[in-house]
């Protein structure tokens, strides 16, 4: 089983937001909303009031925003109001495939015009997702370096949080044999260094999650080889469901092992923590049981989950730079448990996440 992801540039209908339509997530897995207060208000801030809040960009034409609008037209006002819990929150834009420059430029320009900061995910490394649900990526080394160059040029001098290649390090540490470790780490190091050259890019290299590689020291050598030293820090829990507490304890331990590196955490779907059920999941593409066990499938469209802590850059923890919605709630983890292909919009799952939110 492979859990979630890694490269980041961190980046509604119904009158609640500002932004521009982006590409969405091509599909990586693993991986108190609903008050109605404006995103980025003091109501969502963490405990360190002395830290300046950095408002994050909300896409006014996100899938959640369009869904809420459709349901209002159809007379489903209560469901639309629940969907606003997703549509009104800043979420990352997943950038993958050809021509990243145009997407990055469009998103960051829209964010800058709104006086906000975009959150982006760079997700095109060769051999992506070890060939599983979100497999794909650039064809080779030269293609990927060119892709990264275009991504960086698209940023210009505009600010963004950038998450670099979810899962790319942790999958190798966990034993993926479909990629060459040395080559993978060299490509990630190039991505980190090249994107970080842009003057206002906050770059975080993905480091998996606390349930995937339980001993954080196992990641240290790999993260260093992959360029974490040149990054602002690392990202945790992308597309996963580990609790805020577990991610913070794990993040602080990994930070110490890396000499004090800061980190960000994906809190988009962790309101009820990780799934503890007993089913193994069924691949809806083939109609067959995956046969890889409960632990392996706990990250893939688990039932009963909930939206987590709303995005904020004020966290109350000195090394935790931000809690972000990196995985876009409502986008499938893959063809398991009745879900569509990875990255596709799944309204019923989005609605469950919003309905189960604690606020």
Catalytic residue IDs: 129, 167, 333
Q: Encoding tokens for residue 54?
A: 């950095």
SS3 letters across 80-139: HHHHHHHHCCCCCEEECCCCHHHHHHHHHHHHHHCCCEEEEEECCCCCEHHHCCCCECCC
Phi and psi dihedrals of 183, rounded to 5?
A: -65, -45
Return the axis-axis angle of helices 100-113 and 141-155, rounded to nearest 10°: 20
In three-state secondary structure terms, 59 is coil
| End-to-end Cα distance, the chain | 32
Q: Give the integer Cα–Cα distance in Å for 230 and 251.
A: 18
Give the DSSP H or E segment for 46: none
Could you list the beta-strand ranges (E) of 141-182. Answer: 160-164
- Residue 131, judged by CB atoms within 10 A of its CB (0-12, 13-18, 19+), counts as middle
The two tokens of residue 188 are: 């990630």
Give, in order, the Cα–Cα distances in Å from 142 to each of 101, 139, 146, 162. 17, 8, 6, 21
CA distances to 56, 86, 271, 302, 335 from 281, rounded to whole Å, are 35, 26, 21, 9, 9
Q: Is the dihedral of CA 317, 321, 327, 333 positive or negative?
A: negative
**Number of Cβ within a 10 Å radius of residue 109:** 15
């Amino acid at each position: 089983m492979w859990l979630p992801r890694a490269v980041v540039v961190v980046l509604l209908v119904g009158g609640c937001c500002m932004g521009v339509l982006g590409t969405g997530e091509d599909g990586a897995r693993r991986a108190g909303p609903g008050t109605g207060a404006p995103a980025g208000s003091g109501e969502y801030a963490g405990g360190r009031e002395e830290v300046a809040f950095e408002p994050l960009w909300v896409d006014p034409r996100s899938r959640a925003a369009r869904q809420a609008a459709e349901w209002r037209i159809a007379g489903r006002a209560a469901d639309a109001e629940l969907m606003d819990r997703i549509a009104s929150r800043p979420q990352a834009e997943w950038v993958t495939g050809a021509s990243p420059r145009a997407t990055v430029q469009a998103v960051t320009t829209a964010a800058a015009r709104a006086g906000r900061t975009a959150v982006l995910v760079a997700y095109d490394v060769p051999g992506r997702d070890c060939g599983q649900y979100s497999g794909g990526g650039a064809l080779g080394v030269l293609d990927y370096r060119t892709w990264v160059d275009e991504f960086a040029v698209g940023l210009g001098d505009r600010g963004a949080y950038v998450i670099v290649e979810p899962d790319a390090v942790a999958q190798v540490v966990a034993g993926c044999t479909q990629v060459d470790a040395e080559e993978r780490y060299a490509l990630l190091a190039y991505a980190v260094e090249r994107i970080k050259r842009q003057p206002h890019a906050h770059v975080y290299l993905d480091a998996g999650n606390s349930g995937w590689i339980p001993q954080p020291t196992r990641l240290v050598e790999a993260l260093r080889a992959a360029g974490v030293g040149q990054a602002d820090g690392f990202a945790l829990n992308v597309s996963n469901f580990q609790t805020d507490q577990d991610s913070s304890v794990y993040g602080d331990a990994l930070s110490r092992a890396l000499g004090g590196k800061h980190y960000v955490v994906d809190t988009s779907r962790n309101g009820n923590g990780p799934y503890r059920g007993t089913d193994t999941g069924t691949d809806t593409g083939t109609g067959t049981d995956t046969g890889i066990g409960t632990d392996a499938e706990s990250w893939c469209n688990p039932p009963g989950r909930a939206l987590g802590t709303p995005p904020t850059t004020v966290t109350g923890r000195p090394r935790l730079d931000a809690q972000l919605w990196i995985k876009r709630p409502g986008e499938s983890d893959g063809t398991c448990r009745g879900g569509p292909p990875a990255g596709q919009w799944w309204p019923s799952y989005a609605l469950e996440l919003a309905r189960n939110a604690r606020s």
